[in-house]
Homo-oligomer: A and B are copies of this chain.
Amino acid sequence: MKKLINDPRAVVAESVEGFGLAHADLVTVHPEPLFITRRDAPVQGKVGLVSGGGSGHEPLHAGFVGRGMLDAAVPGAMFTSPTPDQIVPATTAVDGGAGVLHIVKNYTGDVLNFETAAELAEAEGIAVRSVLVNDDVAVEDSLYTAGRRGVGGTVLVERIAGAAAERGDDLDAVAALAQRVVDGVRSMGVALAACTVPHAGVPSFELPEDEIEIGIGIHGEPGRHRIPLEDADTITRRLLEPISADLGLASGDRVIVLVNGMGGTPASELYIVHRALTRLLDGLGVRIERALVGNYITALEMQGASLTVLRVDDEMLELWDSPVHTAALRWGA
Residues of A within 8 A of B (CB): 2-7, 11-12, 14-19, 21-22, 55-56, 58-59, 63, 190, 192-193, 209, 212, 229, 231-233, 235, 259, 263-276, 278, 288, 291, 293, 295, 298, 300-301, 303-305, 330-333
Is the Cβ of B303 less than 8 Å from the Cβ of A22? no
Least Cβ–Cβ distance between A103 and chain B, in angstroms:
20
Contact A305-B266, Cβ < 8 Å, known A272-B15, A274-B18, A291-B22: no
Q: A4-B304, A266-B298, A268-B300 are in contact. List 9 more A-B contacts (CB 8 A).
A: A14-B275, A18-B270, A19-B274, A22-B259, A22-B293, A266-B300, A267-B295, A267-B298, A295-B295
In the complex, 11 of the A-B residue pairs with CB atoms within 8 angstroms, ordered by the A residue number, are A4-B192, A6-B231, A14-B272, A18-B274, A19-B271, A21-B288, A22-B271, A58-B268, A268-B300, A295-B295, A301-B303
Least Cβ–Cβ distance between A274 and chain B, in angstroms:
4
- Complex Cα gap A229–B5 (Å): 10
Q: Smallest CB-CB separation from A299: which chain B residue? A: B266
Least Cβ–Cβ distance between A268 and chain B, in angstroms:
4
Least Cβ–Cβ distance between A79 and chain B, in angstroms:
12
Is the Cβ of B59 less than 8 Å from the Cβ of A18? no
Is the Cβ of B263 less than 8 Å from the Cβ of A63? no
Is the Cβ of A268 less than 8 Å from the Cβ of B331? no
Is the Cβ of B267 less than 8 Å from the Cβ of A58? yes
